[in-house]
Amino acid sequence: MRERWGAQPLWARWVLAVYSISFTEGTGSHIADLVRGGIHAYASFPQVSLQVFFVSLVILDPLAAVLVGLVRREGIWLASAVMVWDVSANWWGNRHWLWDDPAQLLWLLPITVFGLFVVALAVPLHCAVAGPASRSPTARPSA
């Protein structure tokens, strides 16, 4: 693992670290929600699909953190997918605040900014992790 991290450019190591730390923090946050509220911790969301998704983040967040920590390309794509779903679910589940009290939506700002960060850097980070050999037209698939 040390070789994988060491082989990355400095910017990629920073981004991987931010991904790992943030998904670990997200794991802790969702575990704390489940400890406080049990399986119905997200009952404030009327859609059962959103409730199930937020509970599933107890598995998806640490999986993304581990895969990113291992410098796996799959982790980058999982992180991107999780953040697209997470940001979308949060905005959809809290859309009533758009009319009732738009200032309440400010608490969605950190997760939205992090989601944009993850998605915006997914392709460059994937390319960095894949290495220069995988970008050459004569490169063979790696095992």
At 43-99, the pLDDT tens digits run 988 899 999 999 999 999 999 999 999 999 999 999 999 999 999 999 999 888 888
pLDDT, residue 136, reads: 46
Q: How many domains does the chain have?
A: 1
Residue 136 in domain? no
Round to whole Å and give the CA distance between 96 and 103.
Answer: 12
At 6-53, the pLDDT tens digits run 889 999 999 999 999 999 999 999 999 999 999 899 998 889 999 999
Asked whether the beta carbons of 114 and 1 are under 8 A apart, the reply is: no
Residue among 44, 119, 43, 121 at smallest CA distance from 87: 119
Residue type at 100 in one-letter notation: D
What is the domain extent for residue 59?
2-130
Residue 143 in domain? no
**How far from the centroid of its chain's Cα atoms is residue 102's Cα?**
25
Round to whole Å and give the CA distance between 52 and 3.
Answer: 38
- Per-residue confidence band for 132, with pLDDT thresholds at 50, 70 and 90: low
pLDDT, residue 140, reads: 53
Residue 69 in domain? yes
pTM: 0.85
Residue 141 in domain? no
Round to whole Å and give the CA distance between 20 and 6.
Answer: 16
Residues 6+ apart with CB under 8 A from 13: 5
Residue 84 in domain? yes
Asked whether the beta carbons of 24 and 17 are under 8 A apart, the reply is: no
At 100-111, the pLDDT tens digits run 888 888 899 999
Residue 80 in domain? yes
- Per-residue confidence band for 3, with pLDDT thresholds at 50, 70 and 90: confident
Residue 61 in domain? yes
Residue 68 in domain? yes
